[in-house]
Structures are given as structure tokens and as C-alpha cells.
Structure 1
Amino acid sequence: MDFLQQIQFICRTTWEKNTGPCGNPCSSSDIGKTKPSSIYDNIFWQYDNGTITDTKYNLNYVLTTVSNTPSYEQGENKFLIPLSNIPRFTLRLNNISWILTGTDKTPMSVVLKIAVNTYIRNDTNMPNASPISASPPYIGIQHSCQTVIKIPVIDPDDDRVACRWAESKDCGQSCTDLPHAELNQKACTIELYASTRNGYQPGQRYRVTLMVDDFPRYGIFVNNKAVTPQQKISSTPLQFTIHIVNGPTSCDTNMKFVSLTVPENLRVPYPTNMPQLLNGVYLETLDVNNTSFLVSLSKGCTYQQLPDDNGRKNVTRLYEICKVTPRDMIGDALFCVWGMNNYGITSQPRCVDVIVAGRNECSTSPCTGNETCYNLFMSHSCRCKNGYKRPFCIQVVQWLLSSEVKDILNKKSIYL
């Protein structure tokens, strides 16, 4: 089936090790494999007009990550849904129990709900792509410290992304139970002071359930209908658990990514003729022997923790080798890595956006001199440089004097 006649969803789900679709026992030798489980064979994702009963859409997955400390497994499943079925729909997963947290007496029922809009956009001439997020199931933060948690999110269409607390309709009985936490919606960060006075206790776990929405950076048409920068196009859920731990006296994690690590927010085309993708992540830490990595990677990736290959005694590295084919997926994939020290405290993430089966769509210089070109899958985005304004990316002073602004002031027209 042609790409423009179907939509692809890559869904990563995470379970406590040996309790998920990997089965029991689950080990690193199972990475890259699918082990059908009778428990998950008959639990299916659902969408607006009913349940998807094709076995490809149940909860079984290709295992991508296994961790012993903390204990979890993560995997990926790919859905291919014909666009002719439902161009705009909600995909949901109901009634899956989540682990107990500090405020629970019984396991809570989880809801995952994805709002999908696959209509064609006039700016890219492609179906809209929903936001993508990646996270380990575990974020460890130190008790009695001020912490900012960065949430890795991207949008394949270069839309503006915002995070919000999930509501009961989005998360069922398993909504966020963090006390006294502030969410910066635009930056997608959570800030909290994990003190006893604020309701945090060492050893406790707390839920975080978010919705990630995408908004166009300027007015566009989706299915020939105008969408303003204030209107969201689609939504993606994200859920993880925060663990409060007792750490050292200092609130500094003493973990940071150092030179030879890929730059933050890097977008990398991964054409089909490339044999494999190599990535090295270098983490400076006080104790390399008791520092590990948490990862969220795609199918086709393997990884190994190794000593620094440049002789730095206080640096450990994670070496990734990925062979992702169009059969596995096409388009954007988010690869993220976190460091974790011996106390169980995690670092900020370092992520790479890999465009599978993509190429450099900006190589022909499709944007003007006042615009910056952003490479997209099979398309590109032209964003005005600082000091310039749409519709034609002219300087702000010129824009204020333009006929478009005069028409707006005269209420003759509205430019989105």
C-alpha cells in the first residue's frame, strides 16, 4: 500500500520486567524478538468505530530494552491503518493496571488515548504527523532538592509542541498524583521541590500522566479547513513514574554529557542505503563503575556500556548500533539516553531525532534568505528567522506598515 494511503503508528510501551509481553524470564537475549503471550494476545487497541481485532494491534511487541536496575522492559509495535478508514480518530487502550504509587491502596486502571488527525496539510502536502515523545518508565530524583525534569518531545512536521496534565478522560484512574509540581507547557518541563513538607517521601513513587499536543506555527489548512496557531491538531499520551530517593548531601547529580556526544536536538536523515547508524553517548560522572544508562530506542538498535575510548577516567559511554529498515518504520524516530548514578538518580536526557528512509530535503535551498529550512520526512519547513514576520518573512517594522496589518486593523481581513 502506498504511504499516502495509510498512516503508521509506532507505539512504545513499558512494563515491569518479566510482567510484560516479553514474558518471564525476560533478558537482553530477547531484544529484537516478539514473544507472543496469551495474556496480551487478546488485548487490543481500540478506535472510534470499534476494536482493532487484527493480531498486529494487540499488546505484544518487539522488545527493544531490558533493565535490571530499575527493573523494566520496553518494546515497540507498529500499526498501519488505511487513511480511507478514518482520517481523524481516537486510538485508545483501556483498563491496564499500573503499579502502586505513594497515594494508592490498590492498583489503578490505566487509559492511553491518542487523538489522531491524518488529513493532508497544505504546508507540507503530507498527512499530519502526531507529536513523538520518549521516556524511560523511571525518573529518579533526590529528596529535599529542587529538580527540573525535561520531557523529550518532537513533532515530525516542525509544529509547536506543548505538554499538559492529562485529565480523567485521558488517563482514567491513573492521572498525575505529584504534589506541588509545576508544568511548563511550552518548554515541556516539570519543576518540583521534593521535600517532606511538600508531600514527598524517600522511597515513594508518584505517577505522571501527560498529553503532548501539536499546534501549527502559523495558519495552515488541514483538509481544506483553516487551523490557527491556537488550535491543536493531534495529541499523544505520555506516562512515567517518579521515584524519590535519598542521595548525597549535594543536590548536584554530578552527571553531564560531554564532548563526542551527539549535539542536543540533532535531526539525522537515515537513508535506506545506509548500512547502519552508529551513536556514542559520553557521560561524565564521579563513579563510572556505579553509573549506568537508561534508554528508549527503536526496534533494530542494540547498545553496550563501555569505557571511554579517549582515556578519560571519569567518563563512561553508551555505544549504540542501529539498523532500522523501512519495513520496521519510516519517518521520525526519537532515540533518548539518560544516565543513572548508584543512588538511582537520573540525569537529563540526550536525544537524537532519526528520520528513517529520509534524506536532506533542504539541500536544494527551498527557503528564502529570511527563513531557516528544517528537514522533514519527504518535505521541509521554512521558519522565519528572528526579527522577521509572516506572511512573507519580512522584517517586523515592514510588517507593521504592510497592507495586511492595515486590513486587520480595519477589520477587513484576518491573516492566520
Structure 2
Amino acid sequence: MTDCGLEVPYNSLITVTSNWSVSESVKSSTWRELEAVSRIVKSSVTMLKNHTVQLNTDNKNVTSIIKNGSRKLDLQEIACDLNELCTENNISIKTQWVPREQNTIADNLSRYYSDCDDWGIHFEVFDMLDELWGKHSIDRFATDYNNSGSTYSTVSSAVYSIKWAHEMCGQIDPTNNSFVESLVESAKRTAKPVVNKKDPVTTDILIRLCSMFHFSTDLLVEFKFKMAWRYGAGPGCTETKIGQYVQGHFIGDKDWKCVKGCNATAKLPVGLVFYTCTAAVKKEDWEQGEHSFQYTFNHKGPFVVSYTGAMWMDLAIPFNETDNSDGGWNLQTIVNLGKRSDTGLPNASPVTASKPLYELQFQCKHEIQIPMVDPDGDKVRCRWAVNEECHSICNAFPVATLDEETCTISFNADNTNFKDDGWYAAALTIEDFPKAQMILGNTSYNTSTPITAVPLQFLIHIKSKPLDCNWKPIFVPPTPAQGSHITIAAHASVNAKMYASNARNPKSQVIDISLTSPPGMTYTGPFKDSNHSGVVYWDLKWTPTAAQKGDNILCGMAEDDQGKLSDTYCFTYIAWDHDPCASTPCHHNGTCDRRGSTQNYDCICPGYTGKLCDSEINECLSNPCQNGATCTDEVNGYSCGCTSGFSGVTFHLDVSDISPKTESTHKDCFSSNEVWPLLIVLLFIVCCLATVSLLLALYVRKIKRMGKNSTLDAASSEQVVEELKL
């Protein structure tokens, strides 16, 4: 908490408490003070509406920024958001600087709550560790009795090293939990020693602590979600807030909840639904955002985590004709924290993306293809959602066919099954399937058993347009290929272009693009392509963070000045990517086959075995040579040396072409008694073939002579038949 007091009308005192995140806690005191003001106003907007607010603060910079703005971008963004919120709700803020020595009440209040600057270790933690390790003879932690110098340096260096190592390997940071954070914050405390100085926390002690509590990291799950609302009904995403984290008041619940498997009597909150604004189109009446949160479960599951919304908008198919007439909606996914037998790691769920709303033309045929990728390289398919997966929209989309392999929805928006200006909802479930049988936790999965399920729901608006169905913009090269995968190294940035053309309707102009993109991506345009008539492009820029490591899908739809939209065009960026095959880990010219976008791979190496093709296969172990011949092992094969009395050719045999059955009966060396009967049989077969060929030639010659006659009587026909029988 920052030292900030807020006095509002009617002489009532509002106290707002909050804890900063790790990234927020290291920002400047001015940023935290200004952000605190913004959060207080947002949380109290209904009470403060149409009123004047007196803000007392001991930070002179905050009073100036609220009045005049700031040259620093992060501070200016907060000030602009605050100004916009106050303007919309007719709130007037008057600021008053209060010297620090006169601001003791607010200062004490801020220190009363869980201030990250004042964290310490409770004595009960020592009791718990004494039970694990026995009575301690030295402090296992840096406390206020420790000198802050060497102690804090040792702890921070150790934590930074662990954090850095896991980040570079693409693994979840094991130090990102309250236990380690308390340890680090305790090491920061400075106080004069009142007892003899205890041994400081060393790197070895910290490693032992992390080893003791490593199991908690195994149960730490990161959830990534993308969600959309009607414009103004969600957390507050607008065209001017792209890239910003928004957490305004909205019509829905604010929590994702564990509804099954968490051993709780009530639905347990696991994360907030607020997000980073990624797209908003006011004229299409939607906003969209994306975010992630982490939650540590108390066992390996499986669990069901869901988010339940308030109400779908009115649809063309009444809710009383769907599975649930309440009109509510539900998103849910399955979590299983067991480790896969094929990778040794927990399963990674499929990744998908979609626009929240598709504006499509009435009386036209349409296809909507949903992109799907799986970090583990599993097979991914989609299906129509059922039961609670879709709640009240299970049958809200009529007569459409779904190609589950490509996740393509095809339908004809004619007047038989659709209404002009009708709204429809589609609910899909994306599932991953192992390419070979494997075990996850205690459950066996084969190629037809889904591992996890990811929900995807969106709206479709069918509306008439006085244009040909095919007159719509198209994306053209050098736009990255549809469905392609583009790797981005750690700390690298993306500078890309997307090109769209009006070739199908030269009288139109492409004027806009709507993107479903990763958080932080920005774009400008359209710009005319000077080399191609009717082609425009957009510049895309993005620097992925370490938290965005892995698959990030980008989808775009171009729009022309007649309101026609292109088909959805998608490709995938693999951020912070390090290809494990780049170092050619497979020995003996083996082929490295990467598993999806993970750091796992398989080595394909004929003639060798082992994870890295480091063990040569001895083909002679199966005794392939017959009649006492000597077998000599070779790379990817063998040769046979025949004993006296046998003949044959010593040759190299490619074992990949021989099944176990043929290998056991194959003979490489033949005796003279075995060879002559074979030659006689072969000579007989050759003679038979020569005889048949001669008879066939004579017959064809006779047919040609008979064809010269104008007619062929019955007797001649019968004669030919008899000859054919011969």
C-alpha cells in the first residue's frame, strides 16, 4: 500500500487495502501512489459519482500529475485513465499536499496491513520447520536481527540465480510463492542487532529450503484465458486502452472458480477474470482481452475450473429450445497435474484463438476455421460442446457441419435455417490426444482418449448485404503463410507486415483490420503498397515477455469500405523459443524430431538405440545366419560368412525392411543340395512362361486375319471360344 488517505463527502472514511504484485512493488513510489488513487476511485465510483473528492497525499508529484499530467508514459496513462473515469462520472478531484510529518494517520494505516515492505516470519513457521528438521541451532531465515548487508546480498543472489535458470529453461519459477517472497523481504529488514548475530542465510540453506518445498511447484498451474464482452459491459477495454490491464466494474463475476476436485464445500476462487485489453471494436459492439493467473492446488487432481457468466444476449434460437433456459453461460476446463510417461512433465493444454464475433453475409455459404496448436505435439481435434460445457447454447447454432480434424465449421446462411439480422452462438471444445499410448498420473491414455478439454465460444451475426458473396478482401503474400509457425528467440522482437487486397472487388478499398493478437502487440496502418494496386498493409510490432513463452496465435480479418470482411487468417508465433534440435543432439547422423514447441525431442537413428542414438544395435543377437554361418555385426545390418559345403553371397542386409517373422526364416547360406532343386524349379517356371507367350502370340495373329471378313458366323465364334478355352 502507498501512504495515501482519501476523504470523501459526508465525512465518511473509506479505507481501501491492497497488496502490490511483485512487478508493481518495484515501481517508483510516485507510480504506486498514483495507481492507488486510481484504484480507490474505481472501487468507489458509484459512491463518488457527481461529487467532489478531496485527495490528501504526502507525494507532491502526484498532486502535480493529477492536475497537469506527466511526461513519463506509464504515469501519463494512469492520469489519462483517471481523468476519463472522472469525466464519465462527473467526479471532481481536488488535491492537497500534506507534509509527511502531518500524515501519520494514513501512514500508520498503510503499515497496519500486509505491506510487502514490512514482511517477516511468524514464529509458527519456525515450529513447523522444527517438526520437519528437529530443533534448530541457527536461524534458518534472515530476520530483523541479521545485518541487512551480506544477508540480503546472499539471499537475493540465490533467488535471482534460481529465477534466471528456470526462465532460460522455460520452466515455472519455483521462487514465485509467498514462502520465498517472505524470505527475501525478511532479508531486506534493517535493525540494530540486540543479540549476538546469527549465521546468515546462505545459498546452500536456500537450496535446501526449495528442495523441501519443491512439491508445491509441481502443483502450481498457470492459466491463460482470452475473453470478450459487449462493448462497455466487460472490464473496460476500449480502442484507446489496447495493451493496458483493465479491471473496471462489469456485469459478471470477477473470479474463476474450482468447481470440482478442490475438496471445498463451496466453489473455490482461483484467479481474477480481469485482463489486458487486446482488441475492441465499438461499431461491432465488442471488447476482448487476454491474461493469465497462477494457482497452487493441494493435490494432482483432476480438477474442473470454470467461469460462469451472467447472461447471453438474445439469440435467434430462444433459450427455451436449448438445454438450459436461463440464458447463462459457462466456460470450463479440466486440470490434471500428473506427469506424462512420455515426456516426464505435466500435460500442456491445446492453444486456440477466435474472434468473439463474426459478422457474416446472409444468403451466402461460409466456413470458419479455428486455429489449434498443442505445445506437446499431440494430435488436436475439436467437437461441439455438450452439457455444462455449453450450458444454455448447446443447440444455438443450426445445421452446420464441423470438420473435427481441422476445426472448420461450414454452413449455408440461407433463409431456410437462418434469419436476416439474426444472432447465433457456437460452443466448441478443443481436445488433445496422444500420438501413442501413454500414462498421465495413474490414468492410461491412447490415441482416441482426450487428455484435456479447452472451451471456445463465440457469436455469429448474419446480416444481408447487397453484394456478391465472394466480393470480400483477401490476404496476400508476403503475409506469413496461413497456419505457419514462426519462432522468436528470447528477448527478440517481431516486426512483421500483413497484406490485404481488394482483387475480388476492385471498386472497394480495404480500410481496416481486426486482430486477435497476443497482449502487447501493436499495429499501425493501413498503408498503400506502392508496388501493387489495391493492396494495403499493416505494420505489426511485438516484444514477447518471458511469461508469453510458447505458442501465441495471431488472427486477422480485413474489412473494406462496403463492410465486407475477409476470411479469418491465422498463424502462430512461438515466443522465447529455443529449438532443442538446433544443437544436433542425436549421435551417428540421427534425425532430431521435436515434440511440438516443447524442449522434448526424439532421436530417429536406424542401426542405433538410446535417447541420443548412442548405442549401436547388434543385429547378430537374433542369429539370422543359417547352417552354422558366422554373423558379423555391421551398422544398421549384418553379414554372414558361410562354412565349407555351403555357398551364397555375403551381403549387407537392411533390417528395417524385414519383419521379425521373415527374419527368423531367412537363410543366407545354401548347400549344393539345396541349390540344384531351386534351379530346376526356376527353369521349369521359365519354360512355362515362354510356352504361354507363344500360344498367345499365335492366337492374336489368327484373330487379326479373321477380322478381315465382313461377318463372323456362329461356327467361327464357337471355334474361337474353343481355342480360348485351350
Tell me whether 1:11 sits opposite 2:231 in the alignment.
no
Residue in structure 1 matching 2:279, options 62, 65, 83: 65
Q: AA paired with 1:336?
A: C
Contact 1:375 1:381 in 2 (8 A): no
Contact 1:148 1:189 in 2 (8 A): yes
Taking a change above 3 Å as real, the CA distance of residues 248 and 40 of structure 1, as seen in their structure-2 partners, is closer
Contact 2:590 2:604 in 1 (8 A): no
CA distance in 2, matches of 1:173, 1:379: 40
SS at match of 2:246: coil
Residue aligning to 2:473: 255
Residue aligning to 1:140: 359
Residue in structure 2 matching 1:355, options 574, 583, 587: 574
CA distance in 1, matches of 2:540, 2:423: 30
Taking a change above 3 Å as real, the CA distance of residues 365 and 223 of structure 1, as seen in their structure-2 partners, is farther
SS at match of 1:300: coil
Residue in structure 1 matching 2:304, options 78, 87, 90: 90
Q: Is there any run of 5+ residues in structure 1 with no aligned partner, and where?
A: 385-391, 407-416
Residue in structure 2 matching 1:331, options 550, 554, 562: 550
Q: CA deviation at 1:187?
A: 1.6
Taking a change above 3 Å as real, the CA distance of residues 189 and 371 of structure 1, as seen in their structure-2 partners, is farther
Residue aligning to 1:131: 350
CA distance in 2, matches of 1:311, 1:107: 55
Q: AA paired with 1:74?
A: Q
Q: CA deviation at 1:265?
A: 2.2
Residue in structure 1 matching 2:397, options 167, 172, 178: 178
Q: AA paired with 1:184?
A: D
1:16-415 → structure 2 map (5 Å cutoff): 16-22=230-236, 26-39=237-250, 43-47=254-258, 48=260, 49=262, 50=264, 51-53=267-269, 57-82=271-296, 85-104=299-318, 108-197=327-416, 199-223=417-441, 225-274=443-492, 276-285=493-502, 286=505, 289-326=509-546, 328-342=547-561, 344-365=563-584, 372-373=593-594, 375-380=596-601, 401-402=659-660
CA distance in 2, matches of 1:4, 1:281: 40
Q: CA deviation at 1:220?
A: 2.2
SS at match of 1:173: helix
Contact 2:365 2:411 in 1 (8 A): yes
CA distance in 1, matches of 2:337, 2:584: 27
Q: AA paired with 1:238?
A: L
Taking a change above 3 Å as real, the CA distance of residues 133 and 369 of structure 1, as seen in their structure-2 partners, is same
Contact 2:302 2:336 in 1 (8 A): yes
Relative to structure 2, which stretch is displaced further, 145-154 or 352-361?
Answer: 352-361
CA distance in 1, matches of 2:508, 2:658: 56
Residue aligning to 1:409: none
Q: CA deviation at 1:277?
A: 1.5
Q: AA paired with 1:182?
A: T
CA distance in 2, matches of 1:44, 1:235: 20
Taking a change above 3 Å as real, the CA distance of residues 271 and 224 of structure 1, as seen in their structure-2 partners, is farther
Taking a change above 3 Å as real, the CA distance of residues 338 and 372 of structure 1, as seen in their structure-2 partners, is farther
Tell me the TM-score normalized by structure 2: 0.49
Q: AA paired with 1:261?
A: T
Taking a change above 3 Å as real, the CA distance of residues 321 and 40 of structure 1, as seen in their structure-2 partners, is farther
Q: AA paired with 2:499?
A: Y
SS at match of 1:206: strand
Q: CA deviation at 1:212?
A: 0.6
Taking a change above 3 Å as real, the CA distance of residues 40 and 95 of structure 1, as seen in their structure-2 partners, is closer
Residue aligning to 1:389: none
Q: AA paired with 2:495?
A: L
Contact 2:253 2:309 in 1 (8 A): no
CA-atom RMSD in angstroms: 3.1
Q: CA deviation at 1:83?
A: 5.6
Taking a change above 3 Å as real, the CA distance of residues 334 and 262 of structure 1, as seen in their structure-2 partners, is same
Contact 2:245 2:277 in 1 (8 A): yes
Q: Tell which has more relative contact order, 1 or 2 (C-alpha 8 A, sep 6+).
A: 1
Q: Is there any run of 5+ residues in structure 2 with no aligned partner, and where?
A: 1-172, 175-216, 320-324, 606-612, 614-635, 637-654, 665-726
CA distance in 2, matches of 1:20, 1:221: 40
CA distance in 2, matches of 1:321, 1:163: 31
Contact 2:376 2:595 in 1 (8 A): no
CA distance in 2, matches of 1:38, 1:165: 32
Q: AA paired with 1:186?
A: E
More helix by percentage: 2
Relative to structure 2, which stretch is displaced further, 3-12 or 91-100?
Answer: 3-12
Contact 2:220 2:294 in 1 (8 A): yes
Q: CA deviation at 1:273?
A: 2.3
CA distance in 1, matches of 2:302, 2:604: 27
CA distance in 1, matches of 2:564, 2:377: 32
Residue aligning to 1:412: none
SS at match of 1:98: coil
Q: CA deviation at 1:290?
A: 4.8
CA distance in 2, matches of 1:374, 1:182: 31
CA distance in 2, matches of 1:196, 1:330: 46
Q: AA paired with 1:38?
A: H
Taking a change above 3 Å as real, the CA distance of residues 362 and 58 of structure 1, as seen in their structure-2 partners, is same
Q: AA paired with 1:187?
A: T
Q: AA paired with 1:192?
A: F
Taking a change above 3 Å as real, the CA distance of residues 84 and 108 of structure 1, as seen in their structure-2 partners, is same
Taking a change above 3 Å as real, the CA distance of residues 9 and 223 of structure 1, as seen in their structure-2 partners, is same
SS at match of 2:240: helix
CA distance in 2, matches of 1:171, 1:140: 21
CA distance in 2, matches of 1:180, 1:53: 38
Contact 1:332 1:377 in 2 (8 A): no
Tell me the TM-score normalized by structure 1: 0.83
CA distance in 2, matches of 1:318, 1:144: 31
CA distance in 1, matches of 2:539, 2:440: 41
Query: What do the CA deviations read for 1:339-392 (whole angstroms, capped 9, x no partner)?
Result: 2344544333222322233212221345786775455133346799xxxxxxx9
SS at match of 2:518: coil
